[in-house]
Structure 1
Amino acid sequence: MSDKEATSSGEAPQARADTISDIQELIRRKEELEAQIKAYYDVLEGQKGVGMDEPLVDCEGYPRADVDLYQVRTARHNIICLQNDHKAVMKQVEEALHQLHAHDKEKQARDMAEAQREAMSHKLGHPESHNPPEAFARVNSVSPGSPASTAGLQVGDEILEFGSVNAQNFQSLHHISSVVQHSEMKPLAVTVLRQGQRHQLRLVPKRWTGKGLLGCNIVLLQR
Structure 2
Amino acid sequence: MSIHDPSAGHLSSASSSAPPPAVTVQSEVRRLTHLRANLDAQLDVYFDVLKTNNVDMHAPLVDNDGFPRSDIDVAGVRTARVSIIRLRNDLKDVHRDMEHVVLRGLPRADDPPHDNETSARDGTRMGGLETVEGDKPFAKVDAVAPSSPADSAGMKRDDLLVSLGAVSTSNPDTLRAVAALVGRSEGTALPVVVTRNGGRLNLVLTPRSGWGGRGLLGCHIVPYTP
Regarding TM over 0.5, the answer is: yes
Residue 123 of structure 1 and its aligned partner are, at CA, apart by: 7.9
List gaps (5 residues or longer) in structure 1. Answer: 33-40, 42-51, 54-78
Contact 1:19 1:99 in 2 (8 A): no
Question: 1:24 maps to what in 2?
Answer: 48
Give the partner amino acid of 1:185: G
Residue 118 of structure 1 and its aligned partner are, at CA, apart by: 5.0
Structure 1 pair 105–84 and aligned structure 2 pair: CA distance change class (3 A): same
SS in 1 for 2:180: helix
SS in 2 for 1:214: coil
Alignment of 1:1-223 (within 5 A): 10=34, 13-28=37-52, 30-31=53-54, 80-83=67-70, 86-102=73-89, 104-109=91-96, 111-112=98-99, 115=102, 116-117=105-106, 121=111, 124=114, 132=131, 133-134=134-135, 135-169=137-171, 171-206=173-208, 207-223=210-226
Give the partner amino acid of 1:97: I
SS in 2 for 1:97: helix
Contact 2:99 2:189 in 1 (8 A): no
Larger Rg: 1
- Considering only aligned residues, what root-mean-square deviation do their CA atoms show, in Å? 3.9
Residue 155 of structure 1 and its aligned partner are, at CA, apart by: 0.8
CA distance in 1, matches of 2:143, 2:69: 47
Contact 2:168 2:174 in 1 (8 A): no
**Range that drifts further, 130-139 or 182-191:** 130-139
TM-score normalized by the length of structure 1: 0.61
Contact 1:148 1:214 in 2 (8 A): yes
TM-score normalized by the length of structure 2: 0.60
CA distance in 2, matches of 1:191, 1:122: 24
List gaps (5 residues or longer) in structure 2. Answer: 1-19, 22-26, 56-62
More helix by share: 1
**Range that drifts further, 204-213 or 111-120:** 111-120
Residue 177 of structure 1 and its aligned partner are, at CA, apart by: 1.3
Structure 1 pair 84–122 and aligned structure 2 pair: CA distance change class (3 A): farther
Give the partner amino acid of 1:212: G
Residue 90 of structure 1 and its aligned partner are, at CA, apart by: 3.4
CA distance in 2, matches of 1:177, 1:129: 25
Structure 1 pair 159–31 and aligned structure 2 pair: CA distance change class (3 A): same
Aligned residues: 177
Residue 13 of structure 1 and its aligned partner are, at CA, apart by: 2.6
